[in-house]
Structure 1
Amino acid sequence: MHGSGSGEVGGFRSARHGPEQRDLKTGMKHSGIVKTYIFLCLWGFTLAAPAGEWIYQVKPGDNLWDLAQKYLVSMRYWRPLQRLNGIGDPLHMRPGLRLRVPESWSRIRTVGARIVALEGEPLIDPRGVTPERKARPGEIVGEGDRLRTPAGSRILLEFSDGSRLLLQSGGDLTLQRLEGYGDGEVGQTRLKLPVGRLENQANPKQIQGTRFEITTPSLVTAVRGTRYRLTVDDDGSRSRVEVVDGRVEAVGGGHRAQVAAGFGVVADAGSPPKQRRLLAPPTGVELPEVVEEVSVTLHPKPDPGAILYRVQIATPGDLAPPLYDRVFEPGPMLVDLTGLADATYVLRLRAVDRDGLEGMETVRTFELNTRPPAPVQLAPEQGAHFANPRPEFVWARPEEAVAYHFELAADRDMSRRLVDLPRVNGERLTLERPLASGDYHWRVTALDAAGRPGPTGALAEFRVLPEPPEAAPPQLEEDGITFRWRPGEEGQWYRFQLATDAAFEQIVEDRRMSQASVHLADPGPGTYFLRVKTIDEDGFEGPFGRVQTVVVPAPERDLGWLVLVPAAFMLLLSL
C-alpha cells in the first residue's frame, strides 16, 4: 500500500501489529468468510474514524477486503473504512480512487533509510550491537542506528516517504523511530541530533499523514513537508533552525513557534525559541557558465547584517553532499577549485548573521573545464616584435595533453581568424605562408586523448614589422645632399643616422622626422654610412635597415688664378 507518492526506499519492513490473517481473495462463497463478513459488519457500526489519516490510491484489482487484510490492524475495520470513504461496492473500486485511512486502524511497519551518497568516511553504529564501522553507499539503516560524520565526512540519507537528510561534517545522528503505514511510504520519522549540522527536505511528495521530527538538546522540530537547516553547537547548548521552504514547528523551553520560510529560530537550552528573519540571498554574485580557471573570486554586494558568508559547491541534485564547504569573512572570496574534477556543479552562497543563522541562498550552476590545462605559450611572447614574417610558435606540453588546437587572428576577439588548425601534434609550429606586417593574436588549446578540449589558452599578441626602409641613392645639390627612402605605414615616424664609420660610433647626424626624406647641408667630402628605421605610433622602434655607404666627392676647384700668377710675374720681369 502506498501514499500519493511513489517509489519504495530499499529497506526492511515487517508487520508489527495485528493477528495472522487468512486469505480472503476467494470472495464470500465460503461460510467462514460469510461469518467473518457478518462479524465485521456488527463491529463496524461502533467504530469512528480518528483525526490522523493517510491516503491510499486504489490500483486495478484492489478490493476493500484485501486492503483491510494487508494494511489494517484488524479485519473489523473494513466496514468503517467503507463508510468513511463512501464506497458502495467493496469488491469493485475505481482505480485511482484516494482512500482515507485512519492511522489508529493501520498496521505500523518498520521501514529503513538508504544511504544515497557519502563523502569521506562517515561511521555507523548498528543499534549498539556491533562495533562502530564505516558506512557504505546503498546500505540500509534502521531504528536505533547511530551515524557520525568525522571531520571531512558527510552522509546523505533517503527515507521511505522520499525525505532526504544531509548530515554535514562533525554531526552525530540517531535514528530513533522509522515507521510507516501502508507499504511504508507514509513515514513516521523521529531522529535525535545532539550535535552537528544537517539539511533536511522532508516529505517532498506531500504525502498526507507523513511526519518528520528531530530532537536536539534545546529544541524539537516537527514538519510535514518542508526544507530547512538545523544546527546544534558543539557543546549542545544552542540550536538553530533556518526554514528555506514550507513551515517548521519548533518547540523549546515550554514554548511553541511556527516558523515560516525565510525565517529562523535560535534556541538555548531551557529558553523559548527566538524567531528571526533570515538574511536575504547575496547579490552581485557573478560566475561564468563555464569556468576554465582553478579558482574563482566572488564579490557579493556587502550585507550590513552579515558577519560571515558560507560557500558550498556540490553536484546537481537535492541535498547532494558539498564537495567544497568554507566560511569567508566579508570581502573578496577566493574559491579554490583544484580538488574538483571537470563536471557540472552548483555553487551556493549565503550570509551568516550575528546569531549564527545562515540566510537564504544564492545559487549558480557552472561547468568546470580545467583539464587538460592550457599550455604555457613560450614564443612569440606577449608583446614581441620582430621582422621575421614566418615566426616559430612554441608552447609547453601540459599534463594529459595529446594534441592541440591552434588559432591565429588579426584581432583581439579572434573574429578574423587567419589560421585555425583543429589538431596539431607536437609543441612547435611554423606557418607555411609568411605573414604581412601588422599585429596578430594567437592561442593554443590542449586536447585530451578523447579529443576533448581543455580551457581555452591565453591570448598572446605579437607584431610582425615591415621591412626596414632603405635609402635611395642620394641627390647632391648646391646647398647640400638629400636622402629619400620608401615611405612606411601611415602614422609612422623615422630615425635617420649618418656616421663616418660602419659601426656608427662616430655619428654626425641623428634625426627623427615624420617624412620619408632628409636634407643635410654639405657634410664635407668623404665616405659616410647611413641607416634608417621606423618608429610606430606607440613609440616602438623597429630595427635599422641595411647599412648603406655613400661617398661625397670633393668639389671641383677653379684653377684659373693659378695661371694668372705666373703671367703677372713674367710681366714684372719685362719691365
Structure 2
Amino acid sequence: MSPERSAAASSRALACCLLLAALPAVAADFAYEIRAGDNPWNLTQRYLKDLSYWPRIQQYNRIAEPRRLQPGARLLIPEQWLRLQTREVRIDAVHGEVALTGADGQHRPARVGDLLTPGMRLATGEVGSAALAFADGSRVQLRPRSELGVQQSADFAAGAGSWVRLELLRGAVDSLVAPRSGPAGRFEIQTPAAVAAVRGTRFRVHADGDAARNETLEGRVAFGNAAGEQSVTAGQGSSARTGVAATPPRALLPPPALPALFADRLPINRPFPPLDGATAYRVQIAGDVSFDTVLIDAFGPAAAVRTADLPDGAYRVRVRGVDGDGFGGLDAEAVLTVDARPEPPVLVEPGPDARVSDAQPALRWSRARADERWRLQIASDATFSGPLVDRDDLSEPSFRPDAPLPPGTWFWRIASRNPDEGVGPFSDAQSFRRPPPGPAMEAPQSGPDGLTLRWRDAGPGLSYQIQIARTPDFAAPEVDARTDSPSWLMKDAQPGVWHLRVRSFAPDGFEGDWAPTQAVTVPEPAPAFRPWWLLPLLWLI
C-alpha cells in the first residue's frame, strides 16, 4: 500500500472512531466497546437476532469503513435488536416500608424472594430499605426514600456477558457489581440527569430531580450524559445535571475514626471524632455485615452514633462524612453491641445530691414487673471500686443499710434482672450527702468581757453558724452569726435562760447538722454595797 493510501485509510479509521465516540446512547441502546477484529458481520452473528441486522448496525452508527472499526470506540445497538436471555432479579432483603409496582401498574408490599422483571419498580419509605441480588453475584441496596426501576437484566448470546440496566428515579443506591464476564458485559444505573456505567466496582448513585451524584469506592465508573462523561476512579466523586456535563472527578472525604461501640443505655448517643471538611454525617446501622437490611439511616451535623431504641444484640455501624457539596466520603465500619435490657429502675429516694441526716437512710426505687429482682451498690466513690454495700438478692424495691453510713458523699446504683432478659446494666449513679454532726458544746466560761462559748473544732477549712435565742424553737434568735473560729463571746448577756446551737459548714457551703441545743442560765448580778445598809446597826449601839 502506498503511503498516500495508508494515510487516507488511517484518516478514515480515525474519523469512524471519532464519529462512534460522539454518538450519544439513548435509554434503549446498548453501548458496545469495539475490540480488535470486530466488524458489523461477526458482531451481528454473535449478538443480534439474525444476520439481516448487520446493515442496520452500519447505518445506525454511520460507519463509513465497516472493515476498519477502531478498537476502544463505542458501537450503539438498539436493545430490541439484541439476542438476549432475560435473567430475573431477586429481592434478597426487605426492611420497613417497601412497595413493589408491577409492569401492569399494580402496587403491593414487597417481600423477600419476589422476582423483578423489566418494567417493575421498588419504592422505599422513610425507614425502608431493600437489597436486590443478580444472577452474577452483583448486589444493589436501595436506601430509604428511594425509587428504583428494572429496565433490563439479561445475558447476551455466545457467553458475551450480561447487561443490567436500572433506573434510579429518586433517592440513593449502593452497588457492589461483580466483574463483568465476556466482552459485552455492562451494568448501568440511569438517573434523570446522568448514567453510571461499570464493568465491576463498588459505588453509590444519588438522584434528586434534575441532579445526580456518583461516589466511587472501588474500581472505576463511567459517569455522565450526552453533554459530557467522566471516568471516576476509587475515592472520587462527580455530579451532573440534566443537559450539563458531569463535573471533573474530585476527592472524597477520608473515613472517620470509628472505634468499636458499646451501649448499655437508651437512647444511644456515642460521639466519634469530627472529620475535617465534613459538614454532616451519614450513620447507618444494620443487622448484617453486608448492610442489606439497614435499620437506621440517619443524616445530620452531629459526629455521633445516635438512636432512640435498638433491641439488645450485635450490629454493624457504617459512618461517612459528607462535604458541603453533598458528596459522601469513604466509609468507616465498626461493631455496635447493645446490652441495655432489662433497663435499670428509676431511683426514687434519696434524690440527686440530697442531704440525708439519717445515718441509715431508706433507699427506694421503681418496680417494672412482679418477678423483678435487683442488685444494689453503695460506695464512697463514683467508680464503685470498693462498694461498702453490694447486695444482689433484693426482692423489694427498698433498702436500709445495716450499719450507719459515716458523714460524707455517697453514691448508689441499681441493676435489674428478670427471668426473660437476664441481668441488665446498672443505673446511672446517684449521689447523696451525709452531713457531719454538730460540734459538741463545751462548758461556757464567764469573764470580765462576757460569757465565752466554745465548741469542738470540726476540722480545717470549716466555718460555723451559731444561734442564740430566748426560746428553744429559735424562732427569733438574738444572735445568728457565722464565724471561722470555734468560739463566740456573748457580751452583756441579760440574766435569764439562753438557748444555744451550732453547726459547721464545709468549704463548698454544705451545712452540717445542728448540734443538740444547749441551755445556759445567766444569773442575776450581786447587788452593789450601799452605806445606808449600816443604819439598822446604829439602833443596837
Fold shared per TM-score above 0.5: yes
Q: Return closer, same or farther for 1:192/1:282 CA change in 2, 3 Å cut-off.
A: closer
Q: Which one of 484, 495, 518 corresponds to residue 488 of structure 2? A: 518
The C-alpha deviation readout for 1:115-135, integer Å capped at 9, x for no partner, is: 221122423356x37944332
Q: Secondary structure at the match of 1:241?
A: strand
- The structure-2 alpha-carbon separation of the partners of 1:243 and 1:492, relative to structure 1 and needing over 3 Å to count, comes to same
> Hey, what's the Cα distance between the residues in 1 that align with 2:161 and 2:401?
70
- How far did residue 292 of structure 1 move? 1.9
Give the whole-Å Cα distance in 2 for the aligned partners of 1:267 and 1:418. 67
Q: Which amino acid aligns with 1:114?
A: R
Deviations 1:9-50 (A, max 9, x none): xxxxxxxxxxxxxxxxxxxxxxxxxxxxxxxxxxxxxxxx99
Shift in alpha-carbon separation, 1:558–1:134, aligned structure 2, 3 A: closer
Q: Secondary structure at the match of 1:405?
A: strand
1:133 aligns to what? 108
SS at 1:487 equivalent: coil
Q: Report the counterpart of residue 286 of structure 2 in structure 1.
A: 314
Whether contact under 8 Å (1:387, 1:464) holds in the other structure is yes
Of 164, 175, 184, the residue aligned with 1:190 is: 164
State the one-letter code of the partner of 1:318: S
Whether contact under 8 Å (2:197, 2:223) holds in the other structure is: yes
Deviation of the 1:558 alpha carbon:
7.1
Structure-2 residue corresponding to 1:77: none
Deviates more, 1:417-426 or 1:556-565: 556-565
> Residue 144 of structure 1: SS of its match in structure 2?
coil
Change (3 A) 1:130 1:307: closer
What is the rounded CA distance, in whole Å, between the counterparts of 1:508 and 1:269 in structure 2?
89
Please say if residues 442 and 459 of structure 1, whose CA atoms lie closer than 8 Å, have aligned partners that are also in contact: yes
Letter of the structure 1 residue corresponding to residue 152 of structure 2: Q
Aligned: 1:417 with 2:387: yes
Matches within 5 A, 1:136-175: 136-137=111-112, 139-141=113-115, 143-144=117-118, 146-152=120-126, 153-168=128-143, 169-174=145-150
Q: In structure 2, how many angstroms separate the alpha carbons of the residues matched to 1:123 and 1:302?
A: 36
Q: CA deviation at 1:442?
A: 1.3
Corresponding letter in the other structure for 1:317: V
RMSD value, Cα:
3.8
**Equivalent residue, structure 1, for 2:299:** 327
AA matched with 1:345: Y
| AA of the residue aligned to 1:151 | G
Amino acid at match of 2:198: V
Secondary structure class of the residue paired with 1:274 = coil
Matched residues in 1 for 2:508 and 2:101: separation? 73
Superposition deviation, residue 241 in structure 1: 1.6
Change (3 A) 1:502 1:346: same
Alignment pair present for 1:265 and 2:238: yes
Deviations 1:213-239 (A, max 9, x none): 1141554433333110112334xx443
Does residue 348 (structure 1) correspond to residue 356 (structure 2)? The answer is no
**What is the distance in 2 between the residues matched to 1:505 and 1:218?**
84
Partner deviation per Cα, 1:338-374 (whole Å, 9 max, x = no partner): 2533333344343445654333334454233444334
Residue aligned with 2:534, SS? helix
Q: How many residues align?
A: 457
The residue aligned with 1:199 is 174
Q: Which residue of 1 aligns with 2:213?
A: 240
Identity of matched residues, %: 28
Deviation for aligned residue 1:280: 0.8
TM-score by length of 2: 0.72
Q: What residue is the counterpart of 2:253 in the other structure?
A: 280
* Structure 1 residues 123 and 506, CA gap change in structure 2 (3 angstroms): closer
CA contact (8 A) 2:130 2:292 kept: no
| 8 Å contact kept, 2:435–2:511 | no
Contact map agreement 2:237 2:252 (CA 8 A) in 1: no
Kindly provide the amino acid, as one letter, of the partner of residue 197 in structure 2.
A
Q: Report if the CA contact (8 A) 1:226-1:247 is conserved.
A: yes
Q: Answer yes or no: is 1:229 the counterpart of 2:204.
A: yes
Aligned partner letter, 2:167: L
Contact 1:527–1:549 (CA<8 Å) still a contact in 2? yes
Residue 288 of structure 1 and its aligned partner are, at CA, apart by 5.0
1:474 correspondence with 2:444: yes
Tell me which residue corresponds to 1:5: none
Residue pair 1:400, 1:448 contacting (<8 A) in 2 also: no
Aligned-pair distance for 1:317?
1.4
Partner-residue secondary structure (3-state), 1:348: strand
The Cα shift of 1:199 comes to 0.7
1:524-539 matched pairs, under 5 angstroms: 524-539=494-509
Query: Tell me, what secondary structure is at the counterpart of 2:329?
Result: strand
Distance 1:319 1:187, change over 3 A: farther
Partner of 1:117: 93
Query: CA separation in 2, counterparts of 1:181 and 1:403?
Result: 69
Partners of 2:232 and 2:480 in 1: how far apart?
A: 85
The answer to whether 1:294 aligns with 2:294 is no
The verdict on how the C-alpha distance between 1:401 and 1:209 changes in structure 2, with shifts beyond 3 A counting, is farther
* Alignment TM-score, normalising by the size of structure 1: 0.68
Name the aligned partner's letter for residue 190 of structure 1: V
| Residues 409 and 431, structure 2, Cα contact 8 Å, conserved in 1 | yes
- C-alpha deviation, 1:522, in angstroms: 5.5
2:19 alignment partner in structure 1: none
Aligned-partner Cα distance in 1 for 2:325–2:446: 92
Mapped to 1, the partners of 2:343 and 2:523 lie a distance apart of 66
Alpha-carbon distance in structure 2 between the residues aligned to 1:241 and 1:532: 76
Which shows bigger deviation, 314-323 or 288-297? Answer: 288-297
- Give yes or no for contact 2:161–2:181 (8 Å, CA) kept in 1: no
**Residue 249 of structure 2 aligns to a residue in which SS?**
strand
Q: Does 1:463 align with 2:425?
A: no
Offset at 1:136?
1.5
- Partner SS state of residue 294, structure 2: coil
Q: CA deviation at 1:439?
A: 1.1
Q: Which runs of 5+ in 2 are unaligned?
A: 1-35, 39-82
